Amino acid sequence: MFKLKYQSDDASVKCTHCGDSCPEDHPVYDEKDFCCKGCQIVYAVLKDNNLGDYYAFSDKPGISQRSASDKNYLFLDDEDVINNLLQFREEKLCKISFSIPQIHCASCIWLLENLSKLNPGILGSRVNFLSKKTTVSYDPSKITLRQIVEQLAIIGYPPELNLQKLSESKNTFSDRKLYYKLGLAGFSFGNIMLLSFPEYLGFAQASVKFYIGYINIILALPLLLYSGYDYLRSAYWTIKMKAVNIDIPIAVGMLTLFFRSVYEIISQTGEGYLDSLAGFIFFLLIGKWFQQYTFYSIAFDRNYKSYFPISALTQTTEGWQSRSLDKLKVGDLLLIKNEEIIPGDAILIKGSASIDYSFVTGESELTKKPEGAKLFAGGKNIGVNIQIQLTQKVDQSYLTKLWDEDTFSIDKEARTQTLVSKIGKYFTITIMSIALITLIYWLFTDKSVAFNAFTAVLIVACPCALALAIPFSYGNILRLLGKHSFYLKNVQVIDRIQQLDEIIFDKTGTITDHKNISAILIGKAITPRQEYLLKSTVFQSSHPLSKAIFKSLKGDFTSEVSYFCETPGRGIEARVGDTTIRVGSPDFIFDQKGDKQLKGIFIEMDGIVITHFDIFHQLRQGVENLISKLSKSYKVSILSGDNDKEKERLQTFFPVGATMIFDQKPIDKLNYIKTRQHLGYKVAMIGDGINDAGALMQSDIGIVISEDSNNFTPACDAILGAEAFGSLLNYLTFLKQARWIIIGAFVIAFLYNVVGLYFAVRGELLPVVAAIIMPVSSISVLIYGLMSSKLMFRKYT
C-alpha cells in the first residue's frame, strides 16, 4: 500500500526513482522514498505491475505533490464545462476524448490504456496513436473529470482541453511541439555545419578547432535533449518494460554519435560527428512531420469529406424528408424510427424513448428517457418513433471512431497486420545483433572504421518503411473508396476482403430495390379508420415491406403511437389509441398454426385478421450483370427471410445449383454462416442492415446496402451506397489486387535495408548519409503507397 511519511526532517532523502530531493511529507511505497506520485506509479509499474494502490493515500480531489502540473483545473468542477467536454454522460458512465500530444511510443500506449489500474472509477481507456487521442470511460460516482485530468498531468500526459469542440472544417494537425523540435534541429544543424565548414576544407587552425568543437557541443546538447527527447524516452521506457522497438537503435545511434564526438573534441583526437548527429535528428523529424501531415490529410478526408451514405428524416415545410449526414444542422428536427441510430447529440422533443447505448458503451441494457432529456450520438432507438432536435452538428469522426471500437468486433484477424507485427518484433533484435557483430569485426580489423560502421548500421536499418506500408497505402484506399460510396470500417477489412471466396446475399432491399417494392391489397377492403391505424403502424418501421405498405395507403396517419415492437424477420405490433395492430408474415400472425402455403403480409386488428397484401419486388438495377460476373470469382448464394415466391426469377441469373434458402429467421442466417465458416469458407454477407445484424457480425465481411434510410448497423464492416451497387465487383477486384501494393512496399523496404546494410557493415557509409537516406526511404515508401493505390484505383474502377 502507498502511504505518507510524516516524520522525515532529513533534507538529504532522495527519491528512489528520479534521485530528486524528497519533501518533508513524502510518499513511501515498499519501504522506498519518493518525491511525488508520478515516481511512485512508475516504480510500481516497473517492479510488479501494481498500480491499484495509488489512491489509497489520496482520497481528496486535487494535486498536493510538487511534481504535479502547475495548471489550475478547478474549472473542471463546473457542470457547464463538463457537459461541453463529455461525449457521453449517464449516471454510471461518462466518456471523454482527450488530445494528448505527448503520446509517442508503445510505452505511452501501455500506460494510458492501463489507467483503470490507478483507480476503480476509471472503467477503461483506449489510445489512438496516430491521432494522439485517448478516450476514457469512467464512473462519475467514483471519480471526477477533474481528478482524471489531474492524474494524467501527474504521470506526464497533461491533455489539451479545448472547450469549443472541433468543427468538421478543421484539420486536427496541431502538434506544435513537433514544429519547435524541428525548428531547433534545423537551427543546430545549420550552425554546426557552418562552423564545421572550415574543417571540411582544412583551413581551421588547431586553436580555432578547439573553440569550434566546444561551440558545437553547446549547440548539440539542446538538440539531443529536446529535439531527440522523444526517441530517447521511448527507448528508455521500452527497455525498462523489457520490450523492444525501433527507437532503441535510433537512441543508441544518437548517444553513440554524441558521446563519441564529445570524447574526440575534449581529447583533441578528432573533430567529432556532431554535424552527423544534427543532420540525423533533423532528417528524422522531417520524416516524422511528413508522415503525420500525410496521415492527418487522409484521416480528414475519410472522417469529414466522405460521409456515411446514410441519412435521417428531417422535418421540412414539405413534411419529413430524408437528408444525408452532411446536410444536417444544429436545430434540425429529426424523426428516429425503431432500430435507427441517433446521428448526433440532441434533445428529445416528442416521445418516451428507450435507448440502446451498446454502440457507445458495449452494454445493451435499455435506458429510458423522458421528453426534454439529452440524447447522445450513437444511441439506437428501440420502440416507438421519437422526435429529436440536434444540439450539435453530426461529427462523423466520432461515429467512425465508435464503429472502429472493439465493442462490435469478433476475432477477425488480418494476416498482413500480423506479418508486419512479427517483422517489427524481431527487426530491432536482428539489427542490434548485426551492429554488434560489425563493431566487433572492425575493432579487430580496423579501429578507425569500427565506430562509423557500427553507427551507420544502427541508423540506416529501419522498419519504418514496413510499418508505414499498410496505414498509408490502405488508408488512402479507404479514402478513395469512401469518396465513391463504399465506406470501409478500417484497414483490416481490406485484408479480410482479399481472403473471400463466398458471397451470400439477402434478398429484400439487397437483390431487390426497396424503392420499387409494390404492396397490393388482395384481401378484403379496409375502412378509412383501419387504413389510418395501419398506416400509423407501418410508419414506425424502417423495413422495406413496411415502407411499401405505407406508400400504397392513402389518407392521414399519426407518427405517435403508445406502443411499438418489431420482431426481426417476422412482423411488427403497435397500439394506436385503444386498438392493437399486428402486421407480418403468416407465421407471425397465425402463431405457427396457419396454412404453411399462405403468402404475403397479413394485417390483424384486436385479434382479428382483416386483410392481407401481396408484395411485388423489382430487381435492383444491374444486379443480373453483377451476379453473373461475381459467380466467376466467388461462390454466390441467397439467404432470405422472405418466402420463395420469386425463386424461379432469381434462378434465371444466379448460377446453376446456387444455394437459395428462404424463410430464414435472423438466428437461422447466423447459424448458416457459422456452418459455412466451419467448412473453411471465408464468407461475405451482403444485406440491408435490417434483421441482419447477427449474420453481418458473424460473417468475415459484413456489407450493408444503404439507401435513403438510417439503417446503419455497428455490426457491419462496410457500407455500400445503393448507387454504387453495380460497381461492387470492381471494388472487390481492386481490393484483391491491392495486396500487390503492400508486397511492392515490402520489396522496396527490403532492398533498401539490404543495400544500406551492405555498405554500412563494410564501413563505406557515413553516419550522416545514413541519417539522410533513412527518412528518405520511409518517405519514398509513403509516396509509393499513395501513388500506386491511386493509379490502381483508376485502373479497376
Nearest to 561 by CA among 385, 388, 389: 385
Q: What is the pLDDT of residue 51?
A: 42
Q: What pLDDT sits at residue 165?
A: 41
pLDDT at 660: 92
pLDDT given at position 19? 61
Whether the Cβ atoms of residue 638 and residue 658 lie closer than 8 Å to each other: yes
Residue 696 has pLDDT above 50, yes or no: yes
C-alpha torsion sign, points 686, 689, 692, 695? positive
11-20, 62-71, 148-157, 553-562: range with lowest mean pLDDT: 62-71
- How many residues belong to the chain? 797
How far is the CA of 330 from the CAs of 318, 394, 395, 545, in angstroms?
19, 8, 12, 32
| % residues pLDDT > 70 (the chain) | 73
pLDDT for 541 beyond 70: yes
Tens-digit pLDDT profile for residues 269-317: 777 778 878 877 887 787 677 666 666 665 555 555 555 656 788 888 8
Residue 222 predicted with pLDDT over 60: yes
- The amino acid occupying position 347 is I
pLDDT band at 417 (very low <50, low <70, confident <90, very high): very low
Residue range 604-663, pLDDT digits in tens? 999 899 999 988 878 888 889 999 999 999 999 999 887 787 888 888 999 988 999 988
What per-residue confidence (pLDDT) applies to 570?
A: 82
Q: Using CA atoms, how far apart are residues 29 and 34, in angstroms rounded to an integer?
A: 8
- Does pLDDT of 672 surpass 90? yes
For residue 237, which phi and psi values (nearest 5 degrees)?
Answer: -70, -30
pLDDT at 39: 58
pLDDT band at 8 (very low <50, low <70, confident <90, very high): very low
Q: How confident is residue 244, by pLDDT bands cut at 50, 70 and 90? A: low
CB burial of 351-385 (b: ≥16 within 10 Å; e: otherwise) equals: bebbbbbbbbbeeeeebebeeeeebbbbbbbbbbb
User: Which residue has better confidence, 108 or 608?
Assistant: 608
What is the model's pLDDT at position 375? 87
Asked which of 42-51, 275-284, 425-434 is least confident by mean pLDDT, the reply is 42-51
| Predicted pLDDT at 103 | 76
Return the pLDDT at 32. Answer: 74
What is the residue-averaged pLDDT of the chain? 77
Task: State the pLDDT at residue 594.
Answer: 47
Q: Where are the alpha helices (DSSP H) in 340-405?
A: 358-361, 396-403
Q: Is the dihedral of CA 242, 245, 246, 251 positive or negative?
A: negative
What is the DSSP secondary structure assignment for residue 455, as one 8-state letter?
A: H
What gap in Å lies between CA 779 and CA 757, rounded to an integer?
19
CA dihedral (510, 515, 520, 525) in degrees, to 10, reads 120
**d(C-alpha 382, C-alpha 367), whole Å:** 10
Q: Quick: pLDDT tens for 464-502.
A: 566 666 777 887 888 888 888 888 887 788 888 998 999
Task: Dump the DSSP string for 132-179.
Answer: TEEEEEE-TTT--HHHHHHHHHHTT-PPBP-SSPPPTT------HHHH
Most confident of 32-36, 511-515, 671-675, 708-712: 671-675
Helix (H, G, I), strand (E, B) or coil at 560: coil
Assess whether pLDDT exceeds 50 at residue 6.
no
Are residues 711 and 688 in contact, defined by beta-carbon separation less than 8 angstroms? yes
Contact of 544 with 530, CB cutoff 8 Å? no
What is the model's pLDDT at position 206?
Answer: 57
Only one residue has cell 545511434, namely 253
- Residue 636 three-state SS: strand
Q: Is the pLDDT of residue 150 over 70?
A: yes
Name the band, by pLDDT with cuts 50, 70 and 90, for residue 164.
Answer: very low
CA trace torsion 582, 587, 591, 592 (10° rounding): 170
Q: Are 704 and 711 in contact (CB under 8 A)?
A: yes
